Amino acid sequence: MNALDSLLNNKRVMCQVEAASRKRIFELVAQQVAEDADLTEDLIYAQLFAREKLGSTALGAGVAVPHCRVAGCEQPLGCLVTLAHGVDFDAPDGRDVDLLFVLLVPEEATQTHLDLLAEIARRFSNDQYCAQLRRAESTGQLLAAATQRLAA
């Protein structure tokens, strides 16, 4: 089992999404997560957008990890998204983002938040792992690829 197993489910995986901006991506993620968790779309969207205003969550290599703390969030939640076309996220390498892992954590989960971000960044720094995610053609394939064990 890896950290992503507890963060994702088939309702919080979005494959080959058509979206032309960060704003639209955050709207779609907020809608998807709100349908699966006891949180409101407006709150999720506002927190994601507020965090992104502080600085880009793009890691480079086409990957971004938008993350925020959310009042009323009882446990960490993730939403994995692949995009049909890359979107500008002000990445350090200038590359458009086409692979996102959105992380929502409870307001008081400071160390958990940091630990999960570190694990997500580690996984998404693996080129083979990212390539498998990008090849997924369905949410089922994407979830299976995301939760596989990485080779040592």
- Cite the active site residues: 67
Between CA 75 and CA 9 the distance in angstroms is 14
Between CA 14 and CA 30 the distance in angstroms is 12
Between CA 16 and CA 77 the distance in angstroms is 20
The neighbouring-strand residues paired with 103 are 67, 78
Residue with tokens 């890691």: 59
